Structure 1
Amino acid sequence: MRSFFKIFFACLLALVIFSLVAFFVGAGIIGRALQPDKPEVGSKAVLVIDLGSPIMEQTKESPIAELAGKEDANALGLYDLVRMISYAKKDSAIKGIVLKAGYNVNGFATNEELREAIVDFKKSKKFVIAYGEYMTQKSYYVSTAADKIYCHPQGHIEWDGFTSNLFFIKGLLDKLEIQPEIFYAGKFKSATEPLRATEMTEPNRLQTTVWLNDLYSHLLLTTSEARNIDTATLHALANNGTIQSPADALNNKLIDGLRYDDEWKAEVAKNLGEKADAKINFISASKYNKAADYKKDGKNKIALIYAQGEIVSGKGESGQIASDEFKNLIRKARTDDGIKAIVFRVNSPGGSALASDIIWREISMARKVKPVVVSMGDLAASGGYYISCNADSVFADYTTITGSIGVFTIVANMQSFFKNKLGITFDRVKTAPYADMGSSDRPLSDAEKKFMQASVDSIYYTFKSRVADGRKKDIVFVDSIAQGRVWTGTRATGIGLVDRIGTLQQAVDCAARMAKVTDYRTREYPEQKNLWEQLFGSSSSSDVKEKVVKEEIGETQYNLLKKLKKVQTLFDIPQTRMPFDAEIH
């Protein structure tokens, strides 16, 4: 009888699994059959680009949302968005672009490449109108590429200058009697400051002042050229707090008018040769992306590998640069004879020193076989620079944050916390003096502290050597520009950390020239997950949990929680990470 039930339930389980697979496969087939491959753009279409939508490096497809009929199912990646705008420039169905300029969550370099694409689009003589109800400075920066900038009469436009806020928890650790024992190399290596100080150290204040003013100068210069206002006047507007209302922005020529929703749409209709109240054929970027045929098709392939997120050892999670995954991706591109060159797109604040070296090694191996070009996004700092420095050519945007060549490691001494706060004590037996080195229930001995610092110094020397070899620089010179210091793309070009300022598309073009191919297409990695992987993969459950928590406690509290959680990842493992998550407003 027991055997019967075993067989029965095994068959029942198999039937359920088969039914589920058949259901999802069938749903996918039916969904694709019901939906046309390419949506109709229609006539006199106006492309809408929402600056409030997060723009990742790589397009994230969502077959589940597509099956549900959601129009904006796929989150567009920057490279696809830029190429799509270029295609729209020549598409007779697209008559203009509207920028929804509200709160902009994207990084400076991302906005820079998007703005360049808008400027290029305008060469077609098609109109570009930007409109916002609450326009942040990053949204305004992109909007300066438009022919006209409008704001809601009762809205708001930020023009206050930039600030960088850092998050310090030393006071909290002191109250809890937790003593982090910190070892670092590089006087500017400020990633550990939140744990060992209550405010910025002078070296960090200096470097932050320099790179933040570089970003601000880029905003001033770009706005000056676009709006025909000298930079001194723009600077004074921020210093004096002049822009307190949309009317102030209009009076000082930052914008072209105050418009309600119906009024700016009436102007769009006029540009289309229609009546003011005519229905406008607005098309979202996500929908147009399905209709636009902008991707090259060629015999040869150029691998485009997107490395976005923190660098971690092993398998990692979604949104991380995991050493196991990326060493295999780079190796796959290296050994594929059909791939003639590799473009490595890096957008990372760094992370594990060991994982960075594993990825560096694969880049070095690939470079011996075929051209390797690095394109830096918003961040390519510390470990992000480690994995970039050995390419044949390195591209960055003006506002890319890079450098931060330095190392640190942290060991948590929680003895007092356990004893005085929790009433917990520890004891042990060991067979060698250092068998328990790094245990969180006791402080390090003087000898152990020397071991830890020696390890950090050794990794720092290796890091500098990698940079010196890859950039063909003397290691003494590398040390002078290293020390954990952060640089913008502009300054990194001047000191040789970067070869040239350029977009991802220009990096792809460079790789093609180096490989001496004209007939090519890009092959993107990591490859998109299919329906089954998205339904049952580990990333899908983590995405759901993140969404639930964020909705429950709010965006601000969720970001604070993430920062506290991230502190845990900094302990015990040598890190090549940029300064601790500076928030720029």
Structure 2
Amino acid sequence: MKQFFLTMLGVFAGLFLFLVVVPFILISVAISSASSKEPTPSNTVLELDLREGVTDQAATNPFALFGGGGLSTTQIVDTLAQAEDDTRVKALLIRLPEAGITPAAADEIRQAVRRFRRSGKPVIAHAQGFQPVGTAVSSYMVGASASELWMQNTSSFQLAGFSAESIFLGRAFEKYGVNAQFEQRYEYKNAVNEYTESDYTPAHREAMTAWMNSIYTSALANAAQDRRQTPQALRTTIEAGPYSSAQALQRRLIDKIGQVEEAEAEAKRRAGRGSDIMEFGDYAASKGERAGSGRNAIAIVGGEGAIMTGTGGGADPFGGGSSIMSDDLAEAIYDAIEDDSVKAIVFRVSSPGGSPDASEQILAAVRAAKAAGKPVVVSMGDYAASGGYWISSEASWIVAQPSTLTGSIGVFGGKMVLADGLGRFGVDMRNLTVGGDYADAFSPSQPFSATDRAAFAASIDRTYEEFIARVARGRNLPAARVREIARGRVWTGAQGKSLGLVDQLGGLEEAIAKARQLARIPAEESVRFKRYPESQSPFAALSEMFGVSGEAARVLIGIGGIMNDPQAEAAVRQIQTERARTTGATVLADQPY
């Protein structure tokens, strides 16, 4: 009887999805597509709101608009490049987040804003304060790149540095009987410390302090350049804060005090009579992605999130695609290889890593592209660390932002032994095994035996040596030198360049320019852009989403509005990331932002 009711419930759920949810989604997509084509007014002020958060890359799933997320870094860069040449666009207004954005995204957006300003068009940035949390220094850096930086009268300039927190579970696990058993290669592979320690180890503290200093110094130097001050003078002023808006104005940290409505009015005045404000996302949708022209093409292949084996199912159907599935990304690269018009590939990577097997599958596709005579230029986004560096290591050229987190050439793996902890609550965990001695090595009911631990440690060593070999070959460095700068340590792009892990500092535009050069496409010749993987059609996306009952349930949750809750979305993405940590070797960096 129970099974009967479950079956009937499944039937009714399927009918509801097919008759109600699917038509609703398709109609919504059609309406959204139609409304996004509204004409651009003759005197337009684009309003770029960065407060909703910025992913690195635009989603390929047509239903991502239901996730409630904001724009992507690559979309902002691409759209501003088109707006530079659009005579209807007269000015840009930026709404700044109070707590900051990812430093590498801020680097790239700043560069795009400066290119926009070089076209002679004004940029006004407005902030409702700068808070003393997270990467507010990156938000200020973007604001400093504007023609004018405004702040609300009641707001405070509380930016005085750069802070980051880590949560350590070592004492809690000890208290509740959870035994975290991990192997790490080596002392800077700090992702496991959250499970095993109660404080920063010396290596962990050293590495974090180093990359934080690098990001902070770079952001201040850029802001000082744009504010026409010396880096030391700006740093001294900022670190003597906090300030009221009036005090910030007096100290030349901002240009004007006013409400956002006043900033909008000023932007419209500069745009000319009859001007109007257009949301950045609407303008981006009306323009679409840059296609370019010409007989030769450059492929832009993108991947964002934790790297996993498989296809399709790792992405959030209502979000920005929170994982890189190795089958999908490798196939995208092979598609670009098989396209005769594609002369070079720009590989946009934003990933903290994941499975070494998935990473190797993607790297094999990169090798195949080079073997086919198509240079591969990696453009690193927020992250290209651990497995993210693995898939980048043998590219023809690597471009990174100064604040990109990269490197983390190392590996870790292990398990949580839960039997003792559960036993304290009257829950008994028992294990049954058939086969060889190693069959139950990753059972959470018992610790590693000495033999199992030795065998597992040997596999971790092999993965580490394979990682070293790929970096040595790809970067043309002696293996001994790679071992010196590896050991699991995270570096910024600026640090990585000095170490030979990165070739050039910059973003997607610089990577495209380098790909053109390596493909020997003359500078005066027009070039087309082809993006892989291609955006899914609504029907293909629906087929994938409703392929299993778990995905269908998730759709119902999304329609119900839960996926619009940032905490719920973050929890789903964390679960997906943790999938990469469960067993075996993992080339995954810690994620400080």
TM-score bucket of the superposed structures, by smaller chain: 0.7 to 0.9
Alignment of 1:65-144 (within 5 A): 76-103=71-98, 106-135=101-130, 136-144=136-144
Secondary structure at the residue paired with 2:354? strand
* Identity across matched positions, percent: 28
**Residue type matched to 1:527 in 2?**
E
Which position in structure 2 is the counterpart of 1:8?
Answer: none
Do 2:352 and 2:388's aligned partners in 1 also have CA atoms closer than 8 Å?
yes
Give yes or no for contact 2:431–2:443 (8 Å, CA) kept in 1. no
State the alpha-carbon separation in 1 of the partners of residues 100 and 305 from structure 2. 16
Equivalent residue for 1:302?
A: 298
Farther-moved stretch of structure 1 (508-517 vs 362-371): 508-517
Report whether the alignment pairs 1:511 with 2:522. no
How far the C-alpha of 1:384 sits from its partner, in A, is 0.3
Partner of 1:251: 250
Q: Please say if residues 343 and 374 of structure 1, whose CA atoms lie closer than 8 Å, have aligned partners that are also in contact.
A: yes
CA drift at 1:338: 2.8
C-alpha separation between the residues in 1 aligned to 2:485 and 2:30?
58
Query: Is residue 200 of structure 1 aligned with residue 200 of structure 2?
Result: yes
Deviation at 1:561, TM superposition (A): 8.2
Counterpart of 2:5 in structure 1 is: none
| 1:288 counterpart letter in structure 2 | Y
Q: What's the offset of the Cα at 1:522?
A: 1.5
Offset at residue 537 of structure 1 (A) = 3.5
User: Which residue of the partner structure matches residue 532 of structure 1?
Assistant: 539
Q: Does the 8 A contact of 2:268 with 2:276 survive in 1?
A: no
Q: Any conservation in 2 of the 1:73–1:286 contact (CA below 8 Å)?
A: no
Instruction: Tell me how far 1:470 sits from its aligned partner.
Output: 0.7
Matched, 1:327 2:330: yes
2:341 is aligned with 1:342: no
Task: Show the counterpart of 1:58.
Answer: 57
- How many angstroms does 1:582 deviate by? 1.5
| Equivalent runs, 1:179-328 vs 2, <5 Å | 179-240=179-240, 242-274=241-273, 280-292=275-287, 294-315=290-311, 316-318=313-315, 319-328=322-331
Q: Which amino acid aligns with 2:448?
A: L
- Whichever residue aligns with residue 146 of structure 2, its letter is A
Is 1:491 the counterpart of 2:519? The answer is no
Larger displacement relative to structure 2 (456-465 or 564-573): 564-573
Alignment partners' CA distance in 2, 1:499 and 1:560? 36
CA contact (8 A) 2:393 2:470 kept: yes
Aligned-partner residue type, residue 336 of structure 2: A
Report the secondary structure of 1:233's partner residue: helix
Q: In the alignment, residue 508 of structure 1 is paired with which amino acid? A: I
- State the alpha-carbon separation in 1 of the partners of residues 553 and 294 from structure 2: 37
Q: Tell me if 1:367 matches 2:362.
A: no
Distance in 2 between the 1:172 and 1:406 partners? 26
Q: Does 1:572 align with 2:583?
A: yes
Tell me how far apart the structure 1 counterparts of residues 186 and 123 of structure 2 sit (CA, whole Å).
Answer: 46
Q: What is the alpha-carbon distance in structure 2 between the residues aligned to residue 54 and residue 25 of structure 1?
A: 24
Q: Is the CA contact 1:302–1:523 (under 8 Å) kept in the aligned structure 2?
A: yes
Question: In structure 2, do the counterparts of structure 1 residues 301 and 73 end up closer, same or farther at CA, with 3 Å as the change threshold?
Answer: farther
Identify which range, 311-320 or 386-395, moves more after superposition.
311-320
Please name the residue that 1:150 is paired with.
150
Mapped to 2, the partners of 1:73 and 1:281 lie a distance apart of 25
> 2 CA distance for matches of 1:22 and 1:109?
38
Taking a change above 3 Å as real, the CA distance of residues 543 and 378 of structure 1, as seen in their structure-2 partners, is: farther
**Mapped contact 1:307–1:345 kept (Cα < 8 A):** yes
For residues 199 and 569 of structure 1, the distance between their equivalents in structure 2, rounded to whole angstroms, comes to 24
* Paired residue secondary structure (2:364): helix
Secondary structure of the corresponding residue to residue 303 of structure 1: strand
- 1:295 and 1:40 mapped to 2: Cα distance? 19
The whole-number CA distance in structure 1 between the counterparts of 2:79 and 2:352 is: 28
**SS of match in other structure, 2:41:** coil
8 Å CA contact retained: 1:60, 1:76: no
Residue 412 of structure 2 aligns to a residue in which SS?
strand
Question: Taking structure 1 as reference, are residues 35 and 187 closer, same or farther at Cα in structure 2, changes over 3 Å only?
Answer: closer
Cα distance in 1 for residues equivalent to 2:110 and 2:377: 23
CA distance in 1, matches of 2:123, 2:215: 25
Return the alpha-carbon distance in structure 1 between the equivalents of residues 239 and 64 of structure 2: 46
- How does the TM-score come out when normalised to structure 1? 0.87
Give unpaired runs (5+ residues) of structure 1.
1-12
**Does 2:579 correspond to 1:581?**
no
Per-residue deviation, 1:327: 2.0
Change over 3 Å in CA distance of 1:75–1:302 after alignment to 2: farther
Partners of 2:253 and 2:15 lie apart in 1 by: 65
- Using the alignment, how far apart are the partners of 2:571 and 2:69 within structure 1? 28
Distance in 2, Cα, partners of 1:14 & 1:447: 50
Worse overlay, 392-401 or 84-93:
84-93
Residues of 1 paired with 2:363 and 2:434: CA distance? 37
1:83-141 Cα offsets, whole Å, 9 max, x none, are 32122222221111111113466421111111111111111222111112234433221
- Cα 1:565/1:420, change in 2 over 3 Å: farther
> SS of 1:376's equivalent?
strand
1:406 equivalent in structure 2: 410
Partner of residue 6, structure 2 = none
SS at 2:128 equivalent: strand
8 Å CA contact 2:399, 2:502 repeated in 1: yes
Between the two proteins, the alignment pairs up a number of residues equal to: 560
The equivalences for 1:367-406 within 5 A come to 367-369=370-372, 370-406=374-410
CA distance in 2, matches of 1:180, 1:471: 35
Cα 1:438–1:468 shift into 2, 3 Å: same
Q: Is the 8 A contact 1:407 1:577 kept in 2?
A: yes
Q: Give, in whole Å, the separation in 1 of the partners of 2:258 and 2:507.
A: 34
In 2, distance between residues paired with 1:51 and 1:22?
31
The 1-side partners of 2:537 and 2:38 are apart by 21
| CA displacement, residues 270-324 of structure 1 (integer Å, 9 cap, x when unaligned) | 32455xxxx7400111222244474312323322111100011222411211112
TM-score norm. by structure 2 comes to 0.86
Q: Structure 1 residues 93, 556: CA separation in 2 closer, same or farther (over 3 Å shift)?
A: same
Alpha-carbon distance in 2 for matches of 1:14, 1:543: 11
Per-residue deviation at 1:489?
0.6
Secondary structure of the structure 1 residue equivalent to 2:470: helix
- Alignment correspondent of 1:459: 463
Q: Answer whether contact 2:355 2:580 (CA < 8 A) is retained.
A: no
Corresponding residue to 1:445 among 443, 449, 453:
449
Shift of 1:337: 2.3
Q: Is the 8 A contact 1:141 1:219 kept in 2?
A: yes
Partners of 2:422 and 2:157 in 1: CA distance: 50
